[in-house]
Chains A and B, each alone.
Chain A
């Protein structure tokens, strides 16, 4: 394992921010793994730390197939993470909306450019990402539909689901999108948590990455074959929204199978405790996403269901 500072940025009042890469093996740029790009992505940081720990052991035992280099960048965002901010500490811009970056541009464009210069040109790019809505997902691999994505490759992670998302204008400046534009096969992996560490889904994510690297001939490793993934287009997910605001009582959780008419959640009057609304499943299927925070507004997306899928 070689540890290398790939980008540094002087701060007026704090220590220099250093983005560190851990490199394993030598040779062609086989795979690059990126952890937290936003300051609240603690689970993403944790997963990368566990991958680095495991790859260090595997490299020592000669398990990295010769002529392959694996790079892991556990954090781009610790300058924000250390002060409890999600976005860039100074101007609240999002580094994951600045790719491919611009080295003569503004600060977060420079950070993105510095990182992208190091992460591009790999065969495979894997990012541990987070979603802007507060809630839990079933662990899955997400890809942008750029015309260059390969769902069959994504299924080799052995996670239960692969989601293909049509990019919106705002997505064109993410790392995942730009990796694909630069001919890297890019995958975003979502586990259950972001702000907190969830050991079970973190272990699942580490196993998925090792499984993928093994199947791509980069690692020699034996692990469970995982799932044969179900591939879903994001627009096929059935969204369920609240019709009132109040206190949210979640009754069904990601991964659960539900039937039409099941009560998924209740919204309570915030002062009187009475049930204002029952959120009823409009379809049968598997819950893919569920809102988590205890309060909800009207018109909030609180569930996404994979229609007509059964356990």
Chain B
């Protein structure tokens, strides 16, 4: 059943329509749990599109195993996805900075309010992101430390490679996930893959995780795969690789590689002079979980992240 969550008239012969696909059990009892699977807040993040398709395909193939309500929202920012724009076109606005929204505000804030209202009362929400066009991310769940105690157990059910518990930043209080967690809808943020592309293997991995999570919640009774036991990063250091020089970055590592301090991870090249501007070395030992895909870099551009060991974190704290 496809429903419109919110619709607004655009200036000329078109409505901006946010839609969801609601899957119900064959024989509803009225006491079902509900999960929301949401993506497409940033118009350049497409990994979630395949996840929505594949999840719905499997649910439709075995409707007898659906025991709860599954709401799938493939595109919170349909204008952005349709026009290859990360933000909301016309407003140059990051849609994930206007939640929980308000009826009193401009159009997009009103839409944000309608979205939150629609999800309110759900038993679980999974908000799927795909980094941006610059960075490739290993499948991971990101959890604000304020909500870690409640959410980490769910993060372990969803078949990601690791769960990153990060500190609170005031600016992130305007995200959909923060707003939903605040009103009692446990919300996991998944980051995986890279902007403007679809990594099919990651899509299958997350669909397996979603079905497992749904099974744990009593929403799905079909077969599920054995899920990965993720690394939880709350007690581990994260090493950041930022460019110091401008140029063209060529990586020499793959996502998931284990590296040692001083290992060469890539180079920043100067195509005009033929010189190597900078050699990028691993600052700590650990696993590469973020890697830059877009080659043009300035000083400061993020080139990668490494998940270190527990001893690094203890050193950091010391």
CB distance from A108 to the nearest CB of B (A): 8
Q: Is the CB of A170 within 8 A of B106?
A: no
Q: Which of B10, B132, B172, B174 contacts A297 (CB 8 A)?
A: B10
Q: Which of A173, A270, A298 contacts B8 (CB 8 A)?
A: A298
Q: Is the CB of B300 within 8 A of A12?
A: no
Determine the chain B residues whose CB is within 8 A of the CB of A97 once the complex forms.
Answer: 171
Which of these binds chain B: A22-30, A62-70, A116-124, A239-247? A239-247
Interface 1/0 per residue, A73-95 and B, CB below 8 Å = 00000000000001100111000
16 A-B pairs, CB-CB below 8 angstroms?
Answer: A12-B298, A87-B92, A90-B301, A91-B132, A92-B87, A97-B171, A107-B298, A109-B300, A169-B171, A172-B171, A239-B104, A246-B11, A297-B9, A297-B11, A297-B16, A300-B107
Q: Is the CB of A9 within 8 A of B299?
A: yes
Given contacts A12-B298, A170-B174, A244-B9, contact A132 B246 (CB under 8 A): no
CA distance A168 to B109 in the complex (A): 13
Does B12 sit at the interface, judged by CB under 8 A?
yes
CB distance from B229 to the nearest CB of A (A): 32
Q: Is the CB of B246 within 8 A of A271?
A: no
CB distance from A72 to the nearest CB of B (A): 25
Which residues of B are in contact with A by a Cβ distance under 8 Å?
Answer: 8-13, 16, 86-87, 91-93, 97, 104-107, 110, 132, 134, 170-174, 240, 242, 245-248, 296-302
Q: Is the CB of B107 within 8 A of A299?
A: yes
CB distance from B5 to the nearest CB of A (A): 15
Q: Is the CB of B174 within 8 A of A12?
A: no
Chain A residues 254 to 302 lying within 8 A of chain B, measured CB to CB, are: 270-271, 295-301
Which residues of A are in contact with B by a Cβ distance under 8 Å?
Answer: 9-13, 86-87, 90-92, 97, 104-110, 132-133, 168-170, 172-173, 239, 244-247, 270-271, 295-301
Given contacts A9-B298, A92-B86, contact A297 B107 (CB under 8 A): yes
CA distance A158 to B242 in the complex (A): 46
Determine the chain B residues whose CB is within 8 A of the CB of A246 once the complex forms.
Answer: 9, 11-12
Q: Which of A87, A91, A169, A300 contacts B173 (CB 8 A)?
A: A169
CA distance A105 to B97 in the complex (A): 20
Given contacts A12-B298, A105-B300, A110-B300, contact A299 B8 (CB under 8 A): yes
CA distance A97 to B92 in the complex (A): 13
Q: Is the CB of A245 within 8 A of B10?
A: yes
CA distance A270 to B11 in the complex (A): 7
